[in-house]
Structure 1
Amino acid sequence: MSGEPSAWSRYPGYRIDLLPCPSKGRVTYGGKTLAESSACIVVQESDHDARLYFPEKDVNWELFEASNHQTHCPFKGDACYWSMPEEGKVLDNVVWCYRDPFVEVSGLKGYVSFDTDLLAVELVQSWVKGGEHSVVTRFPIWGDAQDLLDLINVQPTTANQFSSHPYPNPPIGTFIESLKEKRRRSVVEGGHQLSQAIVAASKTVPDQRVTSASMIFSKAASFEEPLDVQVDVLRAGRNFSTLEVKTVQQEQMRSVGLVLMDSSPGDRIKHSIAMPEVAGPDEAKPLDMRVTGREIRVVDGAYTNDLDHIGPPELYAWIRFREAPETPYLNAALMTQAITHWTIAAALRPHPGLSQALAHVSLSTGPLKADINFHDDVDVSQWMLYVNDAVYAGKGQAQGQGKIFSIDGRLLATFAVHTMIRDFAGGAGKGHNAM
């Protein structure tokens, strides 16, 4: 031991949470499995990204050699390291553990963690619905689909007033001022706010369904503070109702929208356009947005960081969730959440040297407005095809038109997304937490 004292007494509000991991953990490199365990723990710590820790017994130690490197953490104790020889080179200090951790984190004893930059640290979930298969998500994750649903499912506070809690809740917090600039932006996406508006409207007028919703995103909102959703019933009719919905954070309006609701009469006539003939989910490329419990596959791998991947201004994405909520409006809200993911990537595809990888880095991007119209019933545990066409790009903006189909070809919804794409006025920006 270094003999350096613990810092817990000086920072009584500092937090390190050791949580059981519900998924199997796995570490790979170059096709080799370095560790695999169903008994991992997730370590969430102030000022740090989450870390996945593996029981020592579940590590393939023959692939590693002890290192002389040591470090000291004022909240966890002294760390020792291992390196990995690999084809004429050495990956230095990619595994570490705390042999004698401080008493506040004594649960770390017997566990090791891995470098997530040099090694592939993953969560592996087994899904049964639609045939048993594994869904792999790179660690650290943003969260689980249930976390996403909990945030979208805003809860009433007073009449026509709703709220969603911060995420994570309670916040881990930042105690070291210099680290605040290093943390990734925790931005609530436009589609997420539109989803919350749909839920709030559905709870305000429970005997009607949302048939369309539109929202303008005036100012960025953060997951680090509660979001208040305010509903004003402009007209409550027997057949149709019109509601205004505002999202407010720290007493500032972040978005405002209109929601049209109806009483859902039977069909007098019915038809819809056909689903385009594109590769199905089994042939599409998996896209990892760091959310467990949700599976995304993109046709032709069109959502990419590759600056040389040129293609038409269109993008086709298949999405499904591990489970579907019982309430129809929550299915509609979860389906809505993803509509603002795609327009910017589709708009950048035809342009050499550009891709969505530059969003929030050298390009200032984000949704300005989104609209969705609901047509048929949706079960989000079944594959949904998002058809996204960037029909115009120019003057620092892009316009997307989209459709969502069920796996059996039913038209579930149509949508439009208006976005901003321009250079940063003052240089590079910060990354953000896309979901």
Structure 2
Amino acid sequence: METAGAEPAAGGEPEKAWDEDELIRLMDVRPAGPGRYAAPAHGAAARNVVEAGQLLADAVVAASKEIPDQRVASASMVFSRAARHDAGIEVELDVPHRGRTYSTVQARVSQDGRFCCAGLILMGADADDLIGSTAPMPDVSRPARPFERPGMQVQGRELRVVDDAYDEDPQRVGPPELFVWTRFADAPPAAYLHSALMTHPVAHWTIAAALRPHAGYSEAMAHRTISTGISKVTVAYHEDVDVTEWLLYATRVVYTGRGTTQSEGRVYSEDERLVASYSVHGMIRPPTGRLADPSTAL
């Protein structure tokens, strides 16, 4: 995602602003035939690559509309080819099993007839608790200063990074983890859109967290002097979420090597409920010589 005015979009067109309404417009996919849904194009962008979290959120919304009497319990997606901001996106669903307790939804995302990514979504019916437990929320502060890194701003969304740990200085090192608070100004009109907005940033933090312990490297080098991307995201949706309340994304990288990185993360509500957990598989490699080609870098 790039911020309006950060740099000219490809082709010299003025870059379209990112705000909460635009995220909802892109993720609230529309029916386009039996088992088919369509998302509109965003338009001009400095980096013409759709984020992994947006594609997964598209599939989450599509599955929620396909099986409206159940909620998304988990969603996983493998990202094979990048999608562009300047063209629409198609989501095709197959439901190999529809049950009273759980249903299975397979999602295939394409653009201009070309396959981009595939996902598996578990839909489920709610039940009363028999037992209950949860992992405790980390004891971290809520910074007073908003996070204002160019390229990550969405009007109507606040970001606050604990200890200013999302840092472009390649000489500042720290543990392979990031704690980020987010909050949207306005509530979307449907519960599945709250889930979509919560899903959107889960893939934001893994690459930066993986680079933190290594002097000489930082997130500022991504897509420029090192080749990075997100190859797989899995999210489990535990509790109802309200994106107008503060949410804490707690991401810790558990492995980096062989050109890959793997993180585990949790999303906590303001009242310390664990509302979701996630895992992200990413790529960190030397430059391939094709970093400018959006089809080769997710």
TM-score normalized with structure 1 length:
0.63
Q: Deviations over 1:105-125 (max 9, x none)?
A: xxxxxxxxxxxxxxxxxxxxx
More strand by share: 1
After superposition, residues 19-418 of structure 1 pair within 5 angstroms as: 47-48=11-12, 50=14, 142-168=17-43, 184-282=46-144, 285-287=147-149, 289-418=152-281
- Asked if structure 1 preserves the Cα contact closer than 8 Å seen for 2:142 and 2:160, the reply is no
- Asked if structure 1 preserves the Cα contact closer than 8 Å seen for 2:255 and 2:263, the reply is yes
Higher relative contact order (Cα pairs below 8 Å, separated by 6+ residues): 2
Q: Structure 1 431/243 Cα, relative in aligned 2: closer, same or farther at 3 Å?
A: closer
Distance 2:291 2:89 in 1: 28
- Asked if structure 2 preserves the Cα contact closer than 8 Å seen for 1:213 and 1:258, the reply is yes
Secondary structure of 1:224's partner?
Answer: coil
Code of the residue aligned with 2:38 in structure 1: it is S
Code of the residue aligned with 2:21 in structure 1: it is Q
Tell me how many residue pairs correspond in the alignment.
287
Q: Structure 1 376/221 Cα, relative in aligned 2: closer, same or farther at 3 Å?
A: same
- Asked if structure 2 preserves the Cα contact closer than 8 Å seen for 1:364 and 1:429, the reply is no
Q: Deviations over 1:139-179 (max 9, x none)?
A: x77411110111011100101100011113xxx6xxxxxxx
In structure 1, the gaps of 5 or more residues are 1-43, 51-139, 173-182
Correspondence 1:422 to 2:297: no
Aligned sequence identity (%): 42
Distance 2:72 2:111 in 1: 24
Give the structure with higher Rg (CA): 1
Secondary structure of 1:188's partner?
Answer: coil
Tell me the CA shift for residue 281 of structure 1. 3.9
In structure 2, the gaps of 5 or more residues are 1-7
Code of the residue aligned with 2:27 in structure 1: it is I
Q: Structure 1 431/257 Cα, relative in aligned 2: closer, same or farther at 3 Å?
A: closer
Code of the residue aligned with 2:166 in structure 1: it is Y
Tell me the CA shift for residue 48 of structure 1. 3.1
Q: Structure 1 275/286 Cα, relative in aligned 2: closer, same or farther at 3 Å?
A: farther
- Asked if structure 2 preserves the Cα contact closer than 8 Å seen for 1:297 and 1:318, the reply is yes
Tell me the CA shift for residue 287 of structure 1. 4.5
Distance 2:291 2:162 in 1: 30
Q: Deviations over 1:116-135 (max 9, x none)?
A: xxxxxxxxxxxxxxxxxxxx
Secondary structure of 2:195's partner?
Answer: helix
Code of the residue aligned with 1:144 in structure 2: it is D
Secondary structure of 2:103's partner?
Answer: strand
Distance 2:287 2:148 in 1: 30
- Asked if structure 1 preserves the Cα contact closer than 8 Å seen for 2:63 and 2:121, the reply is yes
- Asked if structure 2 preserves the Cα contact closer than 8 Å seen for 1:360 and 1:431, the reply is no
Secondary structure of 2:196's partner?
Answer: helix
Tell me the CA shift for residue 290 of structure 1. 2.6
- Asked if structure 2 preserves the Cα contact closer than 8 Å seen for 1:298 and 1:317, the reply is yes
Distance 2:293 2:167 in 1: 19
TM-score normalized with structure 2 length:
0.91
Tell me the CA shift for residue 340 of structure 1. 0.6
